[in-house]
Structure 1
Amino acid sequence: MLAAAQRERELRAQTYREKALKIYPWICGRCGREFTGKKLRDLTVHHKDHNHENNPPDGSNWELLCLYCHDNEHDRQSVADAYGELKPGEPQKGIATSNPFAALGALLEKKK
């Protein structure tokens, strides 16, 4: 059952990858590297909304990214997810509340 699901996912990925490669130039959308020949396998399809089920026929949810930029994009997204989404005016969570230099002025005055 797991193998069948994985095979189906790979087939679906090939389908939207084929479409994306027909729609877009073979250039990484982030770093601008061009891909041809055997190197084309290093160009991946990134889902802008991170939903692999959202594959509109016009390709509006896709962008071609090289392996490195694709990994970077997902790393950035996971960091953003870890911190949560801030609303305007909302204080950021996890900010340090201590001030290590609070008494520095008094210490410097004592030394004079």
Structure 2
Amino acid sequence: MLIGELSARTGVSQRMLRYYEQQGLLTARRDAKGYRRYGEDSVGTVRHIRQLLGLGLSTEVIREVLPCTIENLGRLDLCPSLVRTLRAELAEMDERIDTLRRNRGALAGYLPGV
């Protein structure tokens, strides 16, 4: 399918699809006229990318995680290296949450009754 059809089927802009390709998250072949052609599996791949982005993962981490997705199930095949990566991501998220809580407490301290 052409990029426009993939965009329509996934709700993701063509610009974003090209970005995913640049980041190594999505692959397309070029036809004789130079147009990008995506396989049917690209729809599921884009959905997985969106899901993982929604979880707060970077495209760098998604590039590592994406091969472990189980097609059409929105789940991951938890190989040991993936478990390490996800644990590290969770630890970083916990650290950011703790920092935000401390900052919120400090900021709230300037307001009476908060």
Structure 1-normalised TM-score?
0.27
Larger radius of gyration between Structure 1 and Structure 2: 1
Structure 2-normalised TM-score?
0.26
Q: Write 1 or 2 for the structure with the bigger share of helix.
A: 2
